[in-house]
């Protein structure tokens, strides 16, 4: 049912032989060496977050600051850099992809609503402010992730981000074991973390 809800062929929703083939491509990406290469991104993000908090506190001698707005933004920045070498800069600006991401994951959706959408998928296509915003955000995520995949496939020099590693690993496999373009797209698809 999850696969139908999010329209994805990613590793988190596939089963059987398809899941095994996808896992064969994905497992090598999470070696200690690869994760270690991404560590500076996490350190840099934590320093950036600390700097923002210090600036918020300033000379006010405040005992409390609100962190709930910043944590999702810094998390998105880390996902962008470590995952795709994409600069969201969501703590300093408001990019199109950042807005789409927050529209998808920032919704406080009732579990009953999710169950109804699962049982009656046609409900997702009934125009409303919620569904229109949802599908516009999905379209934005799809367009930008497609662009990122194409750029990484055509790049002569690739970095150590997740997308570069998966493209490199996929290209080294025999053709019959490689992920299809749609499967590759699904592995980097943010719809997989969207609750609807």
Q: What is the DSSP secondary-structure string of 87-146? A: ---TTT---HHHHHHHHHHS----HHHHHHHHH-GGGGGS--HHHHHHHHHHHHHHHHHH
Core vs surface per residue 86-110: b (16+ CB within 10 A) or e: bebebbeeebebbebbbbbbeeeee
Asked if 141 and 101 count as a contact pair (C-beta separation under 8 A), the reply is yes
Domain boundaries, the chain: 2-193
- Of 138 and 24, the one with more pLDDT: 138
Q: What is the mean pLDDT of the chain?
A: 76
Residue 84: predicted pLDDT: 82
CA gyration radius for the chain? 19
| Total-model pTM | 0.67
- Of the CA atoms within 13 Å of residue 84, those in its CB half-sphere come to 23
Q: What tens digit of pLDDT does each residue of 48-72 get?
A: 988 888 888 776 666 677 777 788 8
Any idea which of 41-45, 104-108, 114-118 has the lowest mean pLDDT? 104-108
CATH topology of domain 2-193: Cytochrome p450 (1.10.630)
Return the biggest CA–CA distance within the chain. Answer: 62
Asked if 140 and 96 count as a contact pair (C-beta separation under 8 A), the reply is yes
pLDDT over 50 (residue 2): no
């Amino acid at each position: 049912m999850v696969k139908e809800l999010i329209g994805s062929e990613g590793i988190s929703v596939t089963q059987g032989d398809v899941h095994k083939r996808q896992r064969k491509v994905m497992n090598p990406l999470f070696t200690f060496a690869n994760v270690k290469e991404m560590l500076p991104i996490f350190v840099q993000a934590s320093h950036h977050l600390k700097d923002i908090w210090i600036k918020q506190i300033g000379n006010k001698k405040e005992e409390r600051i609100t962190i709930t707005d910043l944590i999702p933004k810094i998390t998105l920045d880390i996902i962008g850099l470590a995952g795709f070498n994409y600069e969201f800069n969501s703590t300093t600006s408001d990019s199109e992809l950042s807005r789409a991401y927050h529209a998808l994951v920032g919704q406080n959706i009732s579990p009953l609503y999710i169950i109804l959408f699962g049982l009656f998928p046609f409900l997702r296509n009934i125009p409303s402010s919620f569904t229109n915003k949802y599908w516009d955000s999905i379209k934005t995520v799809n367009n930008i992730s497609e662009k990122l995949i194409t750029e990484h496939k055509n790049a002569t020099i690739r970095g150590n981000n997740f997308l570069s590693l998966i493209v490199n690993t996929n290209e080294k496999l025999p053709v019959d074991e490689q992920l299809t373009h749609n499967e590759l797209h699904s592995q980097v698809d943010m719809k997989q973390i969207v609750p609807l």
